[in-house]
């Protein structure tokens, strides 16, 4: 009886250690930084809504990295990373920051994506 309890205890400890190693941190969105300008005047645009943040007076914006935890099994590949963040400003046509990385979910903490300078066009007055 004592030997059976010891075996069960050993199995439970081994199982608990193996489950802990299956919890991994995945990248939902890397940190995204960039600048937004007016397409016509080439001046920076402040207070543009970019995802959940606003651009600064010099047009610069920073979207913080987002991560989540996932249970997985050893040897499984990281999921694809698809990013689609909308840029909005009243009086301007909206634009999206879009990119995809096939194994991007496996990016290490501190992942960074720098966008090209983005130019928003004014909505024509009819």
3-state secondary structure string across 102-117: CCHHHCCCCCEEECCC
Inform me whether the pLDDT recorded for 13 exceeds 70: yes
Mean of the per-residue pLDDT values for the chain? 87
Least confident of 58-62, 85-89, 111-115: 111-115
Confidence at 73, pLDDT banded by 50, 70, 90: low
The 10s digit of each residue's pLDDT in 111-124 is 899 999 999 999 98
Distance (Å, whole) CA 103 – CA 112: 15
Q: What is the pTM of this model?
A: 0.76
Q: What's the average model confidence in pLDDT over 17-39?
A: 82
């Amino acid at each position: 009886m004592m030997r059976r309890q010891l075996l069960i205890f050993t199995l439970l400890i081994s199982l608990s250690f193996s489950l802990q190693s299956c919890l991994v941190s995945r990248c939902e969105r890397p940190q995204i930084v960039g600048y937004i300008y007016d397409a016509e005047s080439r001046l920076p645009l402040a207070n543009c809504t970019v995802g959940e943040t606003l651009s600064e007076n010099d047009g610069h914006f920073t979207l913080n990295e987002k991560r989540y935890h996932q249970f997985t099994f050893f040897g499984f590949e990281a999921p694809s990373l698809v990013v689609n963040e909308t840029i909005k400003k009243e009086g301007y046509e909206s634009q999206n920051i879009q990119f995809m990385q096939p194994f991007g979910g496996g990016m290490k903490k501190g992942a960074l994506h720098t966008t090209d300078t983005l130019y928003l066009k004014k909505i024509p007055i009819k």
